[in-house]
Amino acid sequence: MIDFTETAQFDELQKELVDRFGDIPLQAVNALRYYRLRLLTKQTGLESLKMKKSDIIFEFHTKRMPSRQKLTLLVEKFKYPVKIDATKNFKVIFQTETGQNNDKEFLMGKALEMITYWHEVY
C-alpha cells in the first residue's frame, strides 16, 4: 500500500480482500483509509493532514499556499467552524464538534471525505 500511486488501487485491494475473506476487520479498513489519506495528502501538496480530538487540520507549507478561491470552496463545502493558524506553516483547522468528536472512525471518514474533495479542486 505504501507504493500505491492512485486511489483506485485501494478500491481494488479492498474488493479483493472482501472477495477472498468476506467482511474485513475494522483494523484493515482503517489501514486502507490511513494509506489513502497519506497518498492524497502527498498528491495535493499538503505539508500534513492531522486529526486531533475533534479537529481536522490541513497544514500547508508557506511555499505551496493554496489560492483563496480553492480554500473558500473547501470551507463552504464542509460547514464546520474554521480556525486559521499561521504561526509556523499555514493551517486550516476544521472543528467538527458534532457529538461524535471522540469517534476516530468518524474523524477518519470525514478527513478522507475532505481530502478527496480537496484533491478534486486542487
Q: Which H or E run includes 32?
A: helix 26-43
pLDDT band, very low/low/confident/very high, at 101 (cuts 50, 70, 90) = very low
Q: Which CATH number fits domain 7-121: 3.90.1150.50, 3.40.430.10, 3.40.50.10710, 3.90.1640.10?
A: 3.90.1150.50
Q: Spell out the domain ranges in the chain.
A: 7-121
10-57 pLDDT, tens digit per residue, is 778 778 878 888 888 888 888 888 988 999 998 998 999 999 989 999
Question: From edge to edge, which strands make up the β-sheet containing 90-95?
Answer: 48-52, 55-60, 90-95, 82-85
